[in-house]
Amino acid sequence: MTDYLISGPAIYTEHDVLCDHFLTTHQGLIQGISNKKISKSQRVLEFPNNYHLVPGFIDLHIHGANGFDVMDGTPEALWGMKKALAAEGVTGFLATTMSASHTEIKSALQNIQETMQKQQASQGAIILGVHLEGPFISAEKKGAQPADFIVSSDQSYFKKLQAFSNNTIKLVTLAPEIENIIELVHYLKQQKIIASIGHTNATFTETMQAITEGCTYATHVFNAMRGIHQREPGAVTAALLSNEVTTELIADGQHLHPAIIELILRLKPIEKTILVTDAMRAKCLTDGTYELGGQSVSVISNKATLKDGTLAGSVLTFPQAIKNMHQWTTYSLSQLFKMTAENQAKLLGLFHQIGSLQPKKMANLVVLDEKLNTVFTMIAGEIVFNATGRF
């Protein structure tokens, strides 16, 4: 394996932004960060000093990209997604399913776990596990999820799904108001699986109970979720006011108005805020008609909708999400990069391996140009995307 020395860009570590420093890799890990060249044996990768070297992005909510979808249930779909995501700087992701027939979910889960067993860093973004979005959700707040396949809470059914996945389900979106859902929440907590509030019409009281019992995450907060009313604060208020809950934001300008993002950020600290894309197969492609869960989706001017106008995921990339947040908020780039990698890694219990640029962690890193476009992606010390033409 080639060892590298990266010079030029500002380096965003956990605590500082370092200029005029070098980052070196050795055997797929970050060897060190110094203002002196550590060794002459590495291959030098030199970038302009107005570029940014940041931790590889981690997407906890992604259905598809570049014409592929997790629910296709084929190896080709996941390999295609992995390659496309690496090109935008995503180095790890949770393959996200949706409500579907038992056969379709089984096929998707088995395909994910088989692909995970074979994947290598050089082949693109690493699948870190599964985000099971549905089928334990509310029909009233289904969003773009097919209503025919929504089911009531069933712990035994979840155990079957987890078996199909070979224990790779890491996050489950569920509706707190569903009968017997607390039993499932207890089980997820016991198994150290993240229980997330989402696609829910739960009241404030129902949501607070679910949080007390173990829900620690909120899927695309505000979207497909009972909103705020002065006499019934709803699920949104419960998620925003609870210190235990990490909120997931889709910063595409379609799912959340910038003022709502500002409201969320005033209530939630940086470490409890995560950027995701919730992207579907049309990401990386042109406007047109696509498919999601057997439903026709129209994409026009970066907005994906069903025939009735319901938002159907997004076509958002991580660099665009960062650009939007940088424009809409007062947060620094250093703060925003915590929302794209560090917080995700901590939530998954993987921060000892990934999520920041620190020695002995995996060399999962991204170089952004002065306009915050991805020009270079490295995963476990392997170059998987290089748009510079320099190397």
Tell me: the pLDDT tens digits for 70-83?
999 999 999 999 99
Residue 189: pLDDT above 90?
Answer: yes
pLDDT band at residue 235 under the 50/70/90 scheme: very high
CA nearest to 219, candidates 324, 347, 86, 326: 347
In sequence order, what are the residues at sequence separation of 6 or more whose Cβ sits closer than 8 angstroms to the Cβ of residue 217? Answer: 171, 194, 195, 196, 197, 245, 246, 247, 248, 347
* 369 is annotated as an active-site residue: no
- By the 10 Å C-beta count (0-12 exposed, 13-18 middle, 19+ buried), 7 is classed as middle
Predicted confidence band of residue 41 (pLDDT cuts 50, 70, 90): confident
Report whether 78 contacts 84 (CB < 8 A).
Answer: no
> Of residues 59, 69, 72, 278, which has the active-site annotation?
278
For 65-117, what is each residue's pLDDT tens digit? 999 999 999 999 999 999 999 999 999 999 999 999 999 999 999 999 999 99
Residue 39 has pLDDT above 70, yes or no: no
Q: What is the pLDDT of residues 346-378, one digit of tens each?
A: 999 999 999 999 999 999 999 999 999 999 999
pLDDT of residue 390: 84
- What are the chain's domains? 4-53+356-386 (2.30.40.10), 57-347 (3.20.20.140)
With a cut of 70, say whether residue 187 has pLDDT above it.
Answer: yes
pLDDT at 391: 83
Backbone angles phi, psi at 40, to 5 degrees: -95, 0
Average pLDDT, the chain: 96
pLDDT tens for 330-351 read 999 999 999 999 999 999 999 9
Residue 40 confidence (pLDDT) above 90: no
**Among positive and negative, which fits the CA dihedral 265, 268, 271, 272?**
negative
The pTM for the full model equals: 0.97
3-state secondary structure of 90: strand
